[in-house]
Amino acid sequence: MKFKYLAFLGVALTLLVLGTALYSPQQVQAADLDGTSSTLSVVGNAVLYEQPDTVKLILGTSVLDPEVQKATATAANNINRALSALKGLGIPESSIQTLSYTINPEYRYINNEQVLIGYRVIHTLQVTYSGPDLGNMAGKIIDACVESGLNQVNGVYFAVSDTKLAALRTLALETAVKDAQAKANTIAKTLGVKVVGVQSVSESYSSPVPIYRSYDLAQASSTTILPGAVSVSASVSITFYIQ
């Protein structure tokens, strides 16, 4: 009789452990106020990829001269020639802006003494282009500016416009919700219950990071830069009622 009691107790403990594993707090939470429904929390995710429609290029000139007036004049001439070249490519002035302009003395140590060797003038522009054939156009902009006297290419960034980004975020959110619903239905079916409602929803986005492409001034004069794709992601956390 004692052995039968111990065997029964062992079976009961086994069922209790299995029940705890199947209905862990991570999947099914406490019943709601009416005592008839429990909750099931899931996370839905979505990642969408889109070709960029905008490119931003950071270009500039760096000039060193013993005389500050000559340094500023040379830098100004380089920028003016670059602006004319950009105009020839159909880039409007509204798409070009100065990011920075600096004049600094430059020194060098000679025989343990700090000697002024000249003045460094750096003028940096940002050029924005939205249109077809981004990679090829980015290469043409770089080549035209380098031929005009600019000697700095600090970055090439591909991105999507605000209008397209808003549409992508909406689609990503819809896809993430569908993913969460599918997960909830699969879990509920496996547990032998049904999804009967929604208790709460929270969402988050991952902003796309502009794609950076470097450029080597030693490359051939005809340059094509490959833009690649931009990713936009969304995530939703939904708590469903189940019965």
Q: The domain 54-159: what is its CATH number?
A: 3.30.70.2970
Asked whether the domain spanning 54-159 has the same topology as the one spanning 25-50+163-242, the reply is no
> What does the angle CA 124 – CA 127 – CA 128 come to, to the nearest 5 degrees?
150
- To the nearest whole percent, how much of the chain has pLDDT over 90? 62
Tell me the whole-structure pTM to 2 decimals.
0.66
* Cα distances (angstroms) measured from residue 19 to each of 23, 25, 31: 6, 12, 16
Cβ–Cβ contacts within 10 Å for residue 181, how many?
17
Least confident of 28-42, 98-112, 147-161, 225-239: 28-42
How does DSSP assign 134-157, residue by residue? HHHHHHHHHHHHHHTT--EEEEEE
pLDDT (tens digit, 9 = 90+) per residue, 81-114? Answer: 999 999 999 999 999 999 999 999 999 999 889 9
List the chain domain ranges: 25-50+163-242, 54-159
Which pLDDT belongs to residue 226?
A: 77
Fold of 25-50+163-242: Translation Initiation Factor IF3 (3.30.110)
Beta bridge partners of 104: 120
Which pLDDT belongs to residue 209?
A: 60
